[in-house]
Structures are given as C-alpha cells and as structure tokens.
Copies of this chain bind each other. A is one copy, B any other.
C-alpha cells in the first residue's frame, strides 16, 4: 500500500524528489534564534525547529510526494527534541505529504518487533529506514508489521558515505560483495509481491551510480536515494535508480534544500521560499536527466 501511495503522489506531482528535514542550529535564521531566545533558553530549540519545519512544509507540500525526517537531529535535544520530531511528522500528514521516519533501527527479533510496533503503528509515520546487520530474523518483524499496517520500509543496502565500502563492499564468494548478500536477503522478504512495487524498499546512496543501476534490476521495492547535492550526487548520477516510467525511486536532499537561502545569500526571512526554489531546481535537474535518459 505504501509503495502504491508513493507512486501515485510522484505521478500527481510529477516529482520523485523528497525533502529532508534535518534541522541544526547552523541552519536556523537569526531572526528565529532571537524570537526563541535560544542563546539563553536552549530548551526552546525544539520549538524553533518545529516552526522552521512547518514553514518549509507549507512551502513545499504541493511539490513533494514525501518528506524524510531524520530523528538524530531531534534526539540531539532530548525528549523535547523527540516531541518536535513527532510533531513534524504529524504536520506533514496534515498537509497530505507522505512521511519517511529516518530512524535506521535494527535489532534481534523481539526488540525489532517493539521498534516496528512503536514506529509503524504510529499514524503519522508512513515508512521507516531499517538497518539489516542482524540478518533475516531481525528484519522479519519489521516486514510483518509493515505488511499488516500497509506501511513501507527502506532497508540500508549501500550507504552514501565514503567508508561504506569498508564492510558493504567486502568481496565474498563468487566475486559477490556483502551488499549483494544484503540485496539477496531483502529480495526474499516479500516474495508474494508481483507486478507492483513492493513496500519493502531499500536505501542506495546517490554517490554510487553503478550500484543504483545494478540494484534497481534486482530489487522489487522503491529505492530511497540519499546523498544528492550536499554529499555530491547529481541528476545524471541517479537516473538509473528509476524504471523507464520514472518510478521506483525517490531522491532525498536535506541541507541542500533547507539551507539554500544561506548558500545564495538570500534574505533569511525568505528561507522557506528559497527551500522551495532549491527543490524546484532539483526537480528540474532530475526530471531533465530522466527525460534525456528516455530520449536515448
């Protein structure tokens, strides 16, 4: 169900780009910092983040099929921060935008079930990211709850960071690499899925164009592609994450969108307007790369 909803939103908005809300102090306009008096009252930081996020959401909701919220940037400020995380997700749903809770949970079966229930039964969460290090029995509780709730998973397959090669690219039998084995495990999780995209998606970094092409062929779920923009990936790098119809992938940008007003030295009061501008640029870049690929 999640993948079907995501496909529908991408088609309606003609956009496979998703916005990441990963607020930091450096990202905040000075006028907001003053309004919340955060240099003295640090406890106000989560409320400031929430106002920042809501304005961005208002500005991009018509354009973006989904918003990714990275919990670490909220957990950094303790319980009040985590409250802002849930409030941000809730506001996305109020604006009819799908949510990706980027939590990268992973554990043994009974613990994985607790995570899965806590997150995937939450109405404001449509999908979560999951870490596969524990193998099949750590993944199946997430899969079972996701199927029951019609929610989605994005399981880490090949991460965008430079050190991702250290473990994920280790060579195992038959010239295969560790990430191939992760791919094989994920492919077994939703064997009754035919035709449509599976709700059991994967994460593959924009920094690995060759792997995007290879893994698109092997995986039945959507690909969540982080690492566009700030981490170095561009439109032409990620076209092979998509199928010929322009579906099957969503590309995330976080700082590249929410800090764009700083990059172009715009009036800080216009931060949400410039977030939208940056998203429009990204959509243009990716949609024209996709058009060019189709034209070939």
Mark A residues whose CB is within 8 Å of B: 22, 24, 70, 72-73, 75-79, 81-83, 86, 104-109, 111-112, 114-115, 117-119, 122, 131-138, 156, 159-168, 170-173, 178, 181-182, 185, 231
Contact = CB atoms under 8 A, between A and B. Distances in A.
Nearest to A76: B118
Given A79-B83, A83-B79, A172-B170, A134 B70 contact: no
Contact of A134 (B72, B164, B170): B164
A107 B226 CA distance: 12
A108 to B, nearest CB: 4
Given A73-B114, A156-B133, A163-B137, A181 B185 contact: no
A166 B185 contact: yes
Contacts of A132: 133, 167
A143 B206 CA distance: 27
At the interface, is chain A mostly helix, strand, loop or mixed?
A: helix
Contacts of A133: 131-133, 156, 159, 167-168
A72 B111 contact: yes
B78 A118 contact: yes
A75 B161 contact: no
Nearest to A72: B114
A72 B163 contact: no
Contact of A86 (B78, B104, B134): B78
A163 B119 CA distance: 23
B104 A107 contact: yes
Contacts of A73: 111, 114
Nearest to A75: B118
A82 B115 CA distance: 12
20 contacts: A70-B107, A70-B114, A72-B107, A72-B115, A75-B118, A75-B119, A79-B86, A81-B118, A106-B131, A108-B161, A131-B133, A132-B133, A133-B156, A133-B159, A133-B167, A135-B168, A137-B161, A137-B162, A170-B178, A178-B178
